[in-house]
Amino acid sequence: MKDIVFSREADRALQKMQPKRRLAIIDKLKAYARGEMVDIRKLRGAELWRIRVGSDRVIIDDQGRVVYVVAAGPRGSIYKE
């Protein structure tokens, strides 16, 4: 199982979310860390990946044994960085 590390920005975004959305994102990240199939795609122009969790998106950097969560949030605003 891979370790999950949150960036400061991702942690703040998760803390502001409703508990049900936050738990869904954390559950999906844990499933990915265990090696289960999730809806994941590589982002164009970067070495980052996105995981789809309902209407939310999680941007991650898979570094082998560590999954670094870069950002998390609603679909429309997560890519505007």
Quick: pLDDT tens for 17-36.
Answer: 999 999 999 999 999 999 99
Contact 74, 18 (CB under 8 A): no
Nearby residues of 7 by Cβ (< 8 Å), 6 or more positions away = 68, 69, 70, 71
pLDDT of residue 75: 87
Give the start-to-end residue ranges of the domains of the chain.
3-74
pLDDT confidence bin for 4, thresholds 50/70/90: very high
pLDDT confidence bin for 81, thresholds 50/70/90: low
pLDDT of residue 65: 93
CATH number of the structural domain 3-74: 3.30.2310.20
pLDDT of residue 77: 77
* Predicted TM-score of the model (pTM): 0.89
pLDDT of residue 80: 67
